[in-house]
Amino acid sequence: MNISAKEVKSLRDATGAGMMDCKKALIEMEGDLDKAVDHLRKQGIAKASKRTGRSTNEGLIYSYVHNPEGRQPDGHHFGRIGVLLEVNCETDFVAKTEDYRSFCKNISVHIVGMNPLFVSREKVASDFIEKEKEIYRAQMENEKKPANIIERIIEGKINKYLQETCLLEQAFIKDPDKTVEDVVKEMMAKTGENVQISRFIRFQLGEGADSEE
């Protein structure tokens, strides 16, 4: 099957994959660009999971002000909600790219809208989880359910709570069919580097700061 250079370039622009990988995907998908995009993304996410052990000493501290109400003379924006976000990668080269900065902005927009409390469940303190369990247990004390059923209900409630409050497990605000973790893996596939969201702080005027700590 003949695949034009223009088709290969279109697929490369959409996925960031190598030219040969793009051409191969288009041949396998019989020239269907959308199917080729899905095919490469699935491959990339699988490869990305192998990169998670590599060190990430570079990256950005990204600042974002949502719907800024104005700008200071020195160029700084001001508004009612803002985010400070640390995203790490392997090289300074990737950290300086427009794609990387756009990724940081998209994650910041998500944090503004979805207000996560933690980066991931691995970063949630065990004593915090135990305290939540005690609260749920106290709520069910008078329901006269068997102990094993109560514990199962508690575990289910904790799991749901973490899915709703951990950034990486939340449905991505710009594409609810993906989680934030999926978006991170896509960025890893695109850059060829390990990319990690390390920490964030969300500020809202008149409220305390929400963070993963």
Instruction: Report the domain count for the chain.
Output: 3
33, 120, 121, 146, 171 from 175: Cα distances, Å: 20, 19, 22, 41, 7
Whether residue 68 is found in the same domain as residue 110: yes
The reply to whether 70 and 139 lie within a common domain is no
Contact (CB, 8 A) for 182 and 45: yes
Q: Are 130 and 87 in contact (CB under 8 A)?
A: no
CATH of the domain at 95: 3.30.479.20
CATH number of the domain where residue 131 is located: 1.10.286
Residues 12, 109 within the same domain: no
Do 138 and 46 share a structural domain? no
The whole model's pTM is what?
Answer: 0.69
CATH code where residue 34 lies: 1.10.8.10
pLDDT at res. 51: 56
Q: What is the mean pLDDT of each run of 10 residues along the chain (213 residues)?
A: 85 72 87 85 61 73 81 66 94 93 96 96 92 88 80 92 95 94 91 92 75 44
What pLDDT, on a 0 to 100 scale, did the predictor assign at position 68?
62
131 and 46 housed in the same domain: no
The pLDDT score that the predictor gives to residue 206 is 79
* Residues 108, 63 share a domain: yes
Residues 174 and 109 in one domain: yes
Contact 205, 81 (CB under 8 A): yes
Structural domain containing residue 86: 58-120+166-211
Regarding whether 150 and 116 lie in a shared domain, the answer is no
CA 10 to chain centre: 25
Same domain, 100 and 132: no
